Structures are given as C-alpha cells and as structure tokens.
Amino acid sequence: MAEDKIFADGFSFKRQENAPDFVVGRLSMKVEDAIAFMKQHTKAGWINLNIKTARSGNYYVELDTYEPKGGGTTSKPITKESDEDVPF
C-alpha cells in the first residue's frame, strides 16, 4: 500500500525558465509555516524534502518519509560541497 503524500507546508519551488543554465529554480519558504512543519517532522535534527513534478507540470515539495528496513545504516543528508569537490 502506498503512503499518503505529506506536502511540506511553507515551502514552494518554482523553475526559473529564463535564468542561466546553472540556476535550477527558486525555493521559497514561508518562515512560520516552514518552521512549524520542520519541528513536527524532524528526525535526529534533520528533515529530508523531495522536489517533484505534479501531473499538471507544476512543482511541489514533499516530505521524504523513506526509512531503510532492517536497521541498516542511513544515508547522510545532502550537504553543499565546495566547488573543488564537484567532479566537473
């Protein structure tokens, strides 16, 4: 059975079609709503969000509820790397 989507309250992502190639889009946050959502869904001080495309073609931000089974190790959250770490 598929889990229900949990939309990330206070977060909005928009693709910037006229921006340079290296700009993917803009993530906006309504501070009060975003903080309340993060406090409600935090695990070990982290929250993971996915940016997805709806059938309508619009983008939305959804809580990533994936948890590995069997007590395996969890993957590290995505963090910003320095330009020197980028392989291209």
User: What is d(CA 43, CA 21) in angstroms, rounded to the nearest whole number?
Assistant: 34
Task: Express each pLDDT in 30-80 by its tens digit.
Answer: 999 999 999 999 999 999 999 999 999 999 999 999 888 876 555 666 666
Given the DSSP bridges, would you call strands 11-15 and 25-29 parallel, antiparallel or unpaired? Answer: antiparallel
- The predicted pLDDT at position 52 comes to 94
pTM, whole model, 2 decimals?
0.67
Residue 38 φ then ψ, to 5°: -65, -40
What's residue 12's pLDDT? 94
pLDDT at 69: 86
Nearest of 33, 66, 73 to residue 49 by alpha carbon: 66
Task: Label residue 1 by pLDDT band (50, 70, 90).
Answer: very low
Within 13 Å and on the Cβ side, how many CA atoms surround 26?
A: 8
